[in-house]
Amino acid sequence: MSCSREGTSCSSGGCATSTMENHSQAEGGNADNELRERMGKIKHKILVLSGKGGVGKSTVAANVACSLAVKGFQTGLLDVDFHGPSIPTLLNLEGRPVYSGPAGLMPVEYNRGLKVMSMGFLLKNPDDAVIWRGPLKMQVMKQLLEEVMWGDLDYLIMDFPPGTGDEPLSIAQLIPDVDGAIIVTTPQNLSLNDVRKSIHFCHQVKIPVLGVIENMSGFICPHCQGVIDVFKKGGGETMAERMGVPFLGRIPMDPDIVEASDAGVPFMGTQPVSKVSVAFDGMVDCLVGKIEKNI
Ligand code: ADP
């Protein structure tokens, strides 16, 4: 792992670890104050979770963040998918250096409304594998929360690895006032089975479920505009209803989303008037409405 620190850079997995150790030894209890102070400047904190990988969780996280920024909210996007950070690729920010000063790490500015921090920026080689046990992940997570200089934000969107592992558990312990979680699923049972676990997890650690998004819900044929239900359809909504959590909406499977993701441009930016973008925009409005009214 490497990070640029005041003009120098350090490499290998030791960077985060040693910085973290120095930090905790030198500052001890001050770290908790720092974490509280940094998080206190962020009005709303939202987790993006999924039961399985590959269901479009990072795509949703990136597009929710972009959409909020377009709506005029000061937004941060924190990629804590340590093992597969996709946000730098989705926003074409790969290889961006992260600068550090005495007050902490500077997030990368995607545009004036959106700041980004990802484990992907801190890896010396994007193909490096992060092999950390739970306690170390917890410490790195804490360090990221303490040290990233977001400043005042309206929203912090946090993209988590799939499942109910150490990362979301750490956040539940470190930030007791998160607004809640968006849970992304695809419609087929295999994904829904795992997403139910994510919802139970949220209930257990007292993270409100803001809503379920059913992604890849039907494929719109680019030739005839007919809809093909590749992974079935409606399973996410039925499951949300049965579990008593809100359903935010559906995103169809759309080859333009893959194109946009591979090009590092959020589809909310490339296709603002496409059916998908309009539907997505509605979901984000619904989310903002719920959060601002605290319902
Ligand atoms: P996850 O974070 O759940 O692992 P990603 O967001 O990385 O999933 O998405 C996995 C792949 O699926 C990416 O190539 C992305 O472009 C594609 N994808 C996501 N949502 C859609 C969609 N609605 N239609 C088509 N492709 C999608």
Span 89-106, pLDDT tens digits: 999 999 899 998 888 999
Residue 23 has pLDDT above 60, yes or no: no
Ligand 1 closest atom vs CA 55: 3
CA distance 281 to 76: 18
Given a cut of 80, is residue 264 above it in pLDDT?
yes
Predicted confidence at residue 270, as pLDDT, reads 67
Q: Give the integer Cα–Cα distance in Å for 120 and 112.
A: 21
| Alpha carbon distance, N-terminus to C-terminus of the chain | 41
For ligand 1, atom 12, name the residue with the nearest CA.
Answer: 56
What are the C-alpha distances in Å from 81 to residues 47, 136, 248?
A: 12, 14, 23
Question: Reduced to 3 states, what is the DSSP secondary structure of residue 277?
Answer: helix
Residue carrying structure tokens 């539907």: 279
pLDDT for residue 124 is more than 80 = no
**Ligand 1: distance of its center to the CA of 53 in Å?**
9
Q: Which helix (H) or strand (E) holds 109?
A: strand 108-111
Averaged pLDDT, 178-183: 96
- What pLDDT is stored for residue 10 in this prediction? 31
Ligand 1 residue neighbourhood (C-beta within 6 Å): 50, 53-59, 86, 215-216, 251, 253-254, 257-258, 261
What pLDDT does 295 receive? 53
Considering only CA atoms, which residue is closest to atom 4 of ligand 1?
Answer: 54
Domains of the chain (ranges; CATH) run 8-292 (3.40.50.300)
* Kind plus residue range of the DSSP H or E element containing 16: helix 14-27
Mean pLDDT (whole number) for 259-278: 81
Q: CB atoms < 10 A from the CB of 169, how many?
A: 18
Q: What is the pLDDT of residue 40?
A: 95
For atom 10 of ligand 1, which residue has the closest CA?
A: 54
Nearest ligand 1 atom to alpha carbon 219: 24
In this prediction, residue 9 has a pLDDT band, given cuts at 50, 70 and 90, of very low
What is the chain's mean pLDDT, rounded?
A: 84
Amino acid at 137: K
